[in-house]
Structures are given as structure tokens and as C-alpha cells.
């Protein structure tokens, strides 16, 4: 699912400069097919970010929950210490390399070639992102990059990255991860029911404080707990659901989780504009608490939780996200996310500019043909680039973090080799 979400975030950012992806379907307004509920799943970037964060909370909690349930306290503490130490390097080293690549592209003039279209209101009629600036000299460029990168990577400042605005989620991911690790440590001695009750209380407090990333990470922790509980019940031949031994009851649960999945898709398609005229969303939008600042994310976040919870409980729904293509996209998902911004600002804008001049932009068909051809080419190049980046940067970053940890940490008396930790617990 993580790979599918990464691909759809890219599609959202690719599309939203020349397509109106924010306005809701209304009776007296725009009524295009792409504005319909459920269809918005395929291009709502806010929904994909929420899915990222729930999945991260789940992935970072799965092994610790397993150790907590088995009362493996020492391995749990060592694993948490390892995860906390390596987390910054896991997230920010690939960004370090990617933003240096942007510096190289700037010096080569790649951003200058597309600067005209990047700020052209006639062609990019909706979202126009900040285009990276080229400085007079290499020294000034490196100094500017150094300043903004370390403000971005500093957990005590957590600034946005102006050279690639799409990386704003990384610093939030890091902060929420550290809070999650601390929560796992604080709750590890509690019994399951009290641990779950504590997590529900933390979700409520995060909601009241308008800390939506923490809500999503804590929800991932809860889903990991529920998954382990379900597997334990299945292993002990105890039914997860009442009367589930009946084929009819099994069908009922399959339908129930499918309905929850569809509800998650609907909530995940929350529009930003014209919600006061959109059927259904008029009511839902009025129910958003007044203290919530990012109102366009409110129902999106709950939709992501419902989507992942229903999928984790339904083997039928899991088939959508467990095929070979989804697995491959999952492996390159972080690299794809880190690279897609620079690819849009250079290759996509360049192709879109040239194709628009060659084909024309007078009609809807002309504009969409130019966009479609450019999108197809950029997607192929991006997936190939993400694969290369994964092999040359992402995986070596994980290994480098482990190597640094092995060199730096104190060894127990009589210890001969470093413990082998599962890498998946540190993957975004």
C-alpha cells in the first residue's frame, strides 16, 4: 500500500498545476467525473500522506508490539535504542543526496530551462510551486543549500525545504517517529488492554491538541496491536469474530470490511473548495471541530485509518495491495517520493512546454494530449530513477546507519558480534 500511495502522491503533484483537483462536485458547479466521491482517491495527495503516516506507525510498532506481547524486554529496549539512533540517518541521508542533486541540476541550468513555465499563470493555472533558485556562484549555491538543509534536518527547527517543498513530510515523520518510540517505551510494561486504553487516550489528547501526525502514528500502533491480537486468537483456534465459523458470518464480515473500506475511500476524498455546496460534505465539514486548523485534512486522516484497518482485516482487500507491482512500488516508494519533485520541475515542465508548443494549447484535447504524453514519459523515467536511487543511496543509507551504530555503541561484556535487527522496522 505504501508504494501505491507514493505513486498517487506523485500523480497528485504532477496534475495539480494544470487541473483543478481541489473543488468538490456540486449540483450548480463543476460536475466532472474526476470530482466524484471515491474517484478522488486516485489524486488526493493529502489522503496519501495520511496513509503514509498510519503505515509508518504500523511498521515502526509491529516488531516492538511482538516483543512486548512476548515480554522480551531486553531485546525490545535494545531495538528501540537502535531505532532511535538510526532514525535520523534513515530519513535524512537520502534527502541530503537528493537535495545535492537539485544543486547540481541548478548549476547545470536544468531549472532555468523551465523557469518560464514554472511561473506562467496562463499555462499553470492552478498550483504553482516554488521553483528552486539559481545563485550567481557555486559557493553561494552551496551555502544557501547548507543553510536550508540543516534547518530542515534539525529536529528542533524542522523547517520546510524550499528547494523541494514536497519534502515537508520528512521532518514531521521524524518527530512523530520519536514520539512513537517514547510511547512504546512508556507502555511496554502494561497489559494489552491497558496499553490500548492508553493509546486511545493519547489519540484523544492529540486530537484536542490538533496534532494530526501523532494521531496517525498512534493509530498505526493500535492497528499493530490489533493485528497481533487477531493472529494470537487465530493461532489458539479462538475465533477473531463471534460466530465466524459460519460461512454466512464470514461473508458478513467480508462485506462489513468492504463497506468500511469504501467509507475510508469516501472520507479520503475530502475536497478543499466548494465544500459548503457539495452533497454530503456540507454536513461532514460542519462537524469538524473549530480548533482544527488544517480542516482539509480532518476527514482525510480518519479515512486513512479506516482504509488501513479494513484492509488489514480482509484477505480480499489485501489482494489489491499484495501483488508484484505493489510490492515493487513499495520497495522504491521512499526513493520515488524523494525524487518526484525535482523530476516534475525539470523533465515534466520541459516536456510540457515543448509539447504544448508543438501540439498547441487552444483546446482541451490539445492540452490533455501534451500533459498525457509528458506524464507517461516522466513516470517511466521517475520509476527507473527511483530504482537506481534505492540501490545506490537508500539501501546504503540504511547500511551506513547500522555501521555507524555498530562502531559507536558500547558492547556488552563477552559480546562477539553485532545483533541482527530486522531492517523493516526502520523503513518509512
Range with lowest mean pLDDT among 15-29, 124-138, 322-336, 386-400: 15-29
Give the mean pLDDT of 264-272: 91
pLDDT of residue 254: 84
Q: What is the pLDDT of residue 173?
A: 95
360 has a pLDDT exceeding 90: no
Spatial separation of the C-alpha atoms in residues 2 and 54, rounded to whole Å: 10
Per-residue pLDDT of 32-44, as tens digits, reads: 777 788 888 888 8
* pLDDT band (50, 70, 90) for residue 331: very high
Q: Is the pLDDT of residue 338 over 50?
A: yes
Contact assessment for residue 43 and residue 8, using Cβ atoms and an 8 Å cutoff = yes
Which has the closest alpha carbon to 81: 96, 95, 67?
Answer: 67
d(CA 54, CA 222): 10
The answer to which of 81-85, 94-98, 115-119, 372-376 has the lowest mean pLDDT is: 115-119
CB 17 within 8 A of CB 129: yes
Mean pLDDT within 118-136:
88
Among 33-42, 113-122, 208-217, 282-291, which stretch is predicted with the lowest mean pLDDT?
A: 33-42
pLDDT (0 to 100) of residue 23: 80
Each residue of 349-358: b (16+ CB within 10 Å) or e?
bbbbbebbee
Assess contact for 366 and 355: CB atoms under 8 A.
no
pLDDT bracket for residue 416 (50, 70, 90): low
Using a 10 angstrom Cβ sphere, with 0-12 exposed, 13-18 middle and 19 or more buried, the burial of residue 28 is exposed
- Mean pLDDT along residues 378-384: 97
CA dihedral defined by 67, 72, 77, 78, rounded to 10 degrees? Answer: -90
273 DSSP β-pair partners: 23
Q: What is the pLDDT of residue 427?
A: 40
Res 418 pLDDT > 70: no
pLDDT digits (tens, 9 = 90+) for 48-60: 999 999 999 999 9
**Calpha distance 328→322 (Å, rounded):** 10
CB 394 within 8 A of CB 96: no
**245/93: higher pLDDT:** 93
Query: pLDDT band for position 29 (50/70/90)?
Result: low
Using a pLDDT cut of 70, give the percent of the chain over it: 92
Res. 126 pLDDT band, cuts 50 70 90:
confident
The predicted pLDDT at position 34 comes to 76
3-state per-residue secondary structure call for the chain: CHHHHHHHHHHHHHHCCCCCCCECCCCCCCCCHHHCCCHHHHCCHHHHHHHHHHHHHHHHHHHHHHHHHCCCHHHHHHHHHHHHHHHHHHHHHHHHHHHHHHHHHHHHCHHHHCHHHHCCCCCCCCCCCCCCCCCCCHHHHHHHHHHHHHHHHCCCCCCCCCCCHHHHHHHHHHHHHHHHHHHHHHHCCCCHHHHHHHHHHHHHHHHHCCCHHHHHHHHHHHHHHHHHHHHHHHHCCCCCCCCCCCHHHHHHHHHHHHHHHHHHHHHHCCCCECHHHCCCHHHHHHCCCCCCCCHHHHHHHHHHHHHHHHHHHCHHHHHHHCCHHHHHHHHHHHHHHHHHHHHHHHHHHHHHHHHHHHHCCCCHHHHHHHHHHHHHHHHHHHHHHHHHHHHHHHHHHHHHHHHHHHHHCCCCCCCCCCCCCCHHHHCC
pLDDT for 7 beyond 80: yes
Averaged confidence pLDDT in the chain: 88
| Max Cα distance, the chain (Å) | 75
Position 31 pLDDT exceeds 80: no
Residue 127: its pLDDT value, please?
Answer: 84
Give me the mean pLDDT over the 134-152 stretch.
Answer: 94
Q: What is the dihedral of CA 395, 398, 404, 407, to 10 degrees?
A: -90
Write down the domain spans for the chain.
2-406
pTM for the model: 0.90
C-alpha cell at 40: 478522488
Amino acid at each position: 500500500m505504501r508504494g501505491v500511495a507514493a505513486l498517487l502522491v506523485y500523480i497528485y503533484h504532477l496534475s495539480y498545476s494544470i487541473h483543478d483537483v481541489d473543488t468538490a462536485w456540486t449540483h450548480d458547479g463543476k460536475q466532472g467525473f474526476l470530482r466524484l466521491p471515491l474517484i478522488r482517491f486516485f489524486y488526493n495527495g493529502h489522503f496519501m500522506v495520511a496513509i503514509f503516516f498510519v503505515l509508518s506507525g504500523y511498521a515502526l510498532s509491529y516488531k516492538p508490539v511482538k516483543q512486548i506481547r512476548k515480554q522480551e524486554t531486553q531485546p525490545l529496549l535494545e531495538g528501540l535504542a537502535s531505532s532511535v539512533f538510526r532514525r535520523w540517518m534513515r530519513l535524512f541521508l537520502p534527502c541530503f543526496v537528493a537535495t545535492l542533486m537539485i544543486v547540481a541540476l541548478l548549476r547545470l541550468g536544468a531549472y532555468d530551462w523551465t523557469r518560464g513555465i514554472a511561473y506562467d499563470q496562463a499555462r499553470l493555472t492552478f498550483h504553482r510551486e516554488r521553483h528552486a533558485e539559481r545563485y550567481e556562484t557555486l559557493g553561494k549555491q552551496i551555502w544557501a543549500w547548507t543553510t536550508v538543509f540543516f534547518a530542515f534536518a534539525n529536529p528542533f527547527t524542522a523547517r520546510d525545504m524550499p528547494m523541494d517543498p514536497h519534502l515537508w513530510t520528512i521532518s514531521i515523520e521524524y518527530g512523530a517517529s520519536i514520539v512513537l518510540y517514547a510511547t512504546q517505551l512508556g507502555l511496554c510494561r502494561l497489559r494489552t488492554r491497558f496499553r490500548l486504553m492508553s493509546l486511545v487516550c493519547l489519540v484523544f489528547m492529540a486530537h484536542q491538541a490538533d496534532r494530526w501526525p501523532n494521531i496517525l502514528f498512534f493509530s498505526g500502533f493500535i492497528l499493530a496491536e490489533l493485528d497481533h491480537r487477531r493472529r494470537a486468537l487465530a493461532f489458539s483456534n479462538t475465533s477473531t469474530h463471534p460466530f465466524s465459523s459460519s460461512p454466512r458470518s464470514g461473508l458478513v464480515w467480508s462485506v462489513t470490511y468492504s463497506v468500511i473500506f469504501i467509507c475510508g475511500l469516501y472520507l479520503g476524498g475530502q475536497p478543499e473548495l466548494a465544500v459548503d455546496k457539495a452533497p454530503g460534505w456540507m454536513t461532514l465539514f460542519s462537524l469538524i471541530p473549530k480548533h482544527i486548523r488544517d480542516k482539509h485534512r480532518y476527514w482525510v486522516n480518519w479515512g486513512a485509518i479506516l482504509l488501513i484497518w479494513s484492509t488489514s482485516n480482509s484477505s480480499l482487500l489485501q489482494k489489491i495491495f499484495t501483488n508484484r507491482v505493489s510490492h515493487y512500488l513499495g520497495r522504491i516508494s521512499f526513493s520515488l517520493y524523494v525524487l518526484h519533485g525535482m523530476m516534475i520541475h525539470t523533465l515534466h515542465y520541459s516536456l510540457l512546454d515543448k509539447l504544448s508548443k508543438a501540439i498547441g494549447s487552444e483546446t482541451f484535447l490539445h492540452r490533455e494530449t501534451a500533459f498525457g504524453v509528458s506524464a507517461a514519459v516522466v513516470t517511466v523515467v521517475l520509476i527507473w530513477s527511483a530504482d537506481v536511487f534505492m540501490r545506490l543511496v537508500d539501501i546504503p543509507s540504511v547500511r551506513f546507519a547500522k555501521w555507524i551504530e555498530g562502531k559507536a555503541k558500547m558492547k556488552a561484556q563477552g559480546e562477539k558480534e553485532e545483533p541482527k535487527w530486522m531492517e523493516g522496522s526502520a523503513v518509512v
